[in-house]
Amino acid sequence: MDNELIKSCEAKANEWLNSPVYDEQTKAEVRALLDAEDKTALVDAFYQSLEFGTGGLRGIMGAGTNRMNRYIVGAATQGFANYILKAFPGRTDLSVVVGHDCRNHGREFAETVANIFSANGIKVYLFESLRPTPEISFAIRQLKAQAGVNVTASHNPKEYNGYKAYWEDGAQVLSPHDTGIIDEVNKVQVEDVKWTGNPDLIQIIGGEMDWDYLQAVKEAMVDQEVINRQKDLNIVYTPLHGTGRVIIPEALRSWGFQNIHVVPEQMVIDGNFPTVVSPNPENSEAMTLGMKLGTKLNADLVIASDPDADRLAIVCRNPKGEWEILNGNQTCMMFAWYIIANKKKLGQLKGNEFLVKTIVTTELIKRIADKNGVEMMDCYTGFKWIAALIRENEGVKKYIGGGEESFGFLPFDKVRDKDSPASICLICEIAAWAKDNGKTLYDLLMDIYLEYGFTLNHTVNVVRPGKTGADEIKQMMVDFRGAKAPKTLGGSKVVCTKDYQALTATDAEGKAVKLDMPATSNVLQWFTEDGTKVSVRPSGTEPKIKFYIEAPATMECPKCYTAACEEAMGKVKAVCADLGI
């Protein structure tokens, strides 16, 4: 390891030890890092400052400049407060909404955030206890607040915590506020933070907002009659120890479902997530207990939400009666199909509706929208971009749904982030509709593939932790834009390369056209002659680079599904080999 880097980190650590700002527990952690013979942990904790990005903060909890702790949270909040005061000059009625999920230190960080905002003269609506991320977004809009913060690390492992920053429209911040907030945060030294809160400016909220939110969630419903006929749909739900337990069973009951079972071990609020390896519904292991209970109770479907209840996972039965976990693309595709098909059948489509998907999400959604005459818009990964399109088209076009492959969907516009309570209620309505028609969710998925074509979506996460990993990921993107740019993938010629950093789409002959996007992004996409699509981007919140591969295959009947998956997976493996991953 670089001796200069170690010395630099030791110097930063000693600054923490010699400052009167930091408490003794923090200093004890820092001393342990300094005293350790292996300096890897010290370097990881101090080699950089945890970056306040466009979505806020996310990192491993602990002492250090590159860790989530009350001092990093405090400096970020002071910078955010400074920006709000600048953005709304002369306003004396400024307010923010603050919430948190089930993470360790979540309440402590949320109260720290509330104290600092109030110390800066900004009224704080602080939730009484943990609440879902989408409810925070809803509350910002409902209370006409100027901003909001949710203390959450979403679906990350238990070592993490985070800080999502929202603006007055209830969406995570975009330009120009994102860079403006970042600039203010970067100016703040820990000594500048106003730590002592003003209790007169902190209002605790809870039950009344829950009621308003639950009423709004019902706007995502398409057909009440279907639910009335299938109110005994057998549902198993797990919050994976998180915030969904507060809202989701109640939301399902408010829609009319009467046969709801919960996984008792996972209804326990616990930031250590003792029953799962990782609280990420994208990981099939997280669904094990739910499927076990579903088998015992002969359930129709098993559903989960992640710790902050913005993402969902769905498990349904295949024709053999076995549990089949739907991936995020399949879920998103099913939502899009049902919303369009049934709103059309009920005469609810007026001709100005639109759907949104992210650029890495399955192209089958566009086929569904195009065939049914509904506009579909593409945007970058992250729900702030979906929220931006809702805002831009408000009053002109009607948003009816939007989602991304990473298990997030938003079926109504009163919230401006992923919303698992509303999406879970809607998927149960879809399951009820399927049952009403003698089908399962799995049968419905097969019907969609047969009508619109089959593709398999596969994501490869290449994890590279620490500073050396960050450097390696950076170099991979440089290489893919240069010497290692693929000419063929999986035996099929690359016919189009989209570079969202350069905002160009280049064909096989080298002819380039401009991409119409609101900003640049470090994403590459390759499209091949046979319909394969590959997207690559470094994660903005985790130490990894992600490869999203969509490969087509022939599927002529429901029984051909397994063979189609195998055929497409062969293409995926060939693509991975070509990319060296």
The first and second tokens of residue 185, run together, are 């945060």
| Residue in this structure with the two tokens 């590159």, named with its chain if needed | 66
Nearest alpha carbon to residue 205 among 304, 272, 138, 108:
138
User: Which long-range contacts (C-beta less than 8 Å, at least 24 apart) are formed by 562-571?
Assistant: 564/449, 564/454, 564/456, 565/456, 568/454, 568/455, 568/456, 569/456, 569/458, 571/490, 571/491, 571/530, 571/532
Count CA atoms within 13 Å of residue 1 on its CB side.
Answer: 17
Closest CA to 96 of 110, 117, 74, 111: 117
Q: Is 175 exposed, middle or buried (0-12, 13-18, 19+ CB in 10 A)?
A: exposed
**What is the token pair recorded at 137?**
């977004």
Pair 523, 537: CB distance under 8 Å: yes
Residue 176, preceding peptide bond in cis (omega within 30° of 0):
yes
Question: Which three-class secondary structure string do you get for 158-181?
Answer: CCEEEEEEEECCCCECCCCHHHHH
Q: How many other C-beta atoms can be found within 10 angstroms of the C-beta atom of residue 2? A: 11
Q: Cα Rg for the chain, rounded, in angstroms?
A: 24
Letter for the amino acid at 360? Answer: V
* In contact, 10 and 36? CB cutoff 8 Å: no
Decide if 154 is catalytic.
Answer: yes
Q: In the numeric block, which tokens belong to residue 326? A: 């739907």
Close Cβ partners of 535 (under 8 Å, ≥ 6 residues apart):
359, 360, 523, 524, 525, 547, 548
> Which is catalytic among the residues 137, 154, 423, 492?
154
**Burial group, residue 503, by CB count within 10 angstroms (0-12, 13-18, 19+):** middle
Tell the residue number behind the tokens 């998907």, with chain if given. Answer: 357
CA-angle at 140, arms to 136 and 143, nearest 5°:
125
Instruction: Assess contact for 126 and 108: CB atoms under 8 A.
Output: no
Active site residues: 154
